[in-house]
Structure 1
């Protein structure tokens, strides 16, 4: 079985329309969607934001034989060549030694993605005429809001994009001997500040409507920014949606070979 991990409900929307949902299971704040894709078993995990996914993987592994893991969803660019809506395929996932700041950024651990899957993803993404980049992903503990810090990360490390979940997933996959890949789409560019608050997203990865409403009442000048971000996340969702069906089919073909 392939397990695809997303943090947010908006990210799940990139794959959900392509599959047949058989069962919805809640575990703590997360949601598991047991599904099938072209007759193949698939589990979509909506984990919520951050690195606390080890328990979810443990729960999955008790009930299913996981053959392949994918960390997906949105990512922030830290490289001027990587723009909004672009597809990013991870070569390695990096974890910093401490919270990322404008000072020196030291990498504490580096784990590789599955090389044959990376090669396949690049091939299929290019064939689909998607704007694609293959490189390292830095997993961080907090949203990187300032554009200056994004550029600093790009200058200080080999990363081309940042996310908040991939290292925890690849660390667990690596320990279990399960092949793993990062497939993400850029929702915010390197020169954009992220003017949002963590409490606008629920622990389960949904939109907290009341918190968002309070934020906009207090800061109505941010409405144009949120409208722009909504358009950009839709663009990122469309990119993932265009990529996933053929990729999942080919991964299952390789697993069955």
Structure 2
């Protein structure tokens, strides 16, 4: 594998990775920052896409077009939508989809997919990285991650999303990144540290746990770079 693309929505989510990389160049394209360098001897391009699906999709397409990457790892934080997924746990994407786009639209219009599958080799690599980094106070899970254009902090909406999609967690970028990766035939995986339970207390818990959860996810990516 020649060059790994790594995307985070916020600087908080890529800060640890930037600190650990040997930076050779920074480029700004269409308002997005791309950091070129090496981590653990591997060529990487780290991108900050900002929040939301359109930003994530735009940043991902530029990453693919301009930097000749071989795969994409999306790192960041999310809200739990599964009873077994606790705050500070990690979710690895089995697949990704949108919770605010109908299944009929996904299925009947290009690219005719209800969800986008994470790459099996990258999932296996993420699992190995979790096992290497794992501490006793958190667990990792492999499951569906859903994305949409809002921070979920409403228990009724949370229940509705769970009933419709049976996801493990919810965030705002992963499905768009997976979507663009799929139509470009680029392998991807989404990794999310859990900062909150996507319920009525979500904002309070997010403020407390966002940094810890972001660093859990980033540390898994760092370990992936060691064993890739």
TM-score band, normalised by shorter chain? 0.7 to 0.9
Partner of 2:96: 93
Partner of 2:109: none
The structural deviation recorded for 1:191 is: 4.1
- The alignment status of 1:142 with 2:144, answered yes or no, reads no
CA deviations 1:182-225 (Å, max 9, x no partner) are 11111112444344xxxxxxxxxxxxxxxxxxxxxxxxxxxxx3
From 80, 84, 101, give the equivalent of 2:83. Answer: 80
Alpha-carbon distance between aligned partners in 2 of 1:4 and 1:236, rounded to the nearest angstrom:
17
The structural deviation recorded for 1:240 is: 1.9
Answer yes or no: is the 8 Å Cα contact 1:74–1:186 preserved in 2.
yes
From 71, 76, 83, give the equivalent of 1:68. Answer: 71
Q: Secondary structure at the match of 1:153?
A: helix
1:249–1:107 Cα change, 3 Å:
farther
Q: Secondary structure at the match of 1:14?
A: helix
Structure 1's unaligned 5+ residue stretches are 100-104, 196-224, 252-257
Partner of 1:7: 9
1:28–1:65 Cα change, 3 Å:
closer
The structural deviation recorded for 1:244 is: 1.9
**C-alpha RMSD of matched pairs (Å):** 2.2
Aligned length, in residue pairs: 215
Alpha-carbon distance between aligned partners in 2 of 1:75 and 1:235, rounded to the nearest angstrom:
12
Q: Which residues in structure 2 correspond to 1:241-256 (within 5 Å)?
A: 241-251=218-228
Give every structure 1 segment of 4 or more consecutive aligned residues whose post-TM-superposition deviation is greater than 3 Å. 96-99, 105-108, 190-195
The structural deviation recorded for 1:125 is: 0.8
Alpha-carbon distance between aligned partners in 2 of 1:114 and 1:78, rounded to the nearest angstrom:
22
Report the structure number with the largest CA radius of gyration: 1
Partner of 1:49: 51
1:58–1:124 Cα change, 3 Å:
closer
Partner of 1:37: 39
From 215, 224, 230, give the equivalent of 2:207. Answer: 230
Q: TM-score scaled by structure 1?
A: 0.75
Partner of 1:152: 160
Alpha-carbon distance between aligned partners in 1 of 2:105 and 2:123, rounded to the nearest angstrom:
22
The structural deviation recorded for 1:49 is: 0.5
The structural deviation recorded for 1:158 is: 2.0
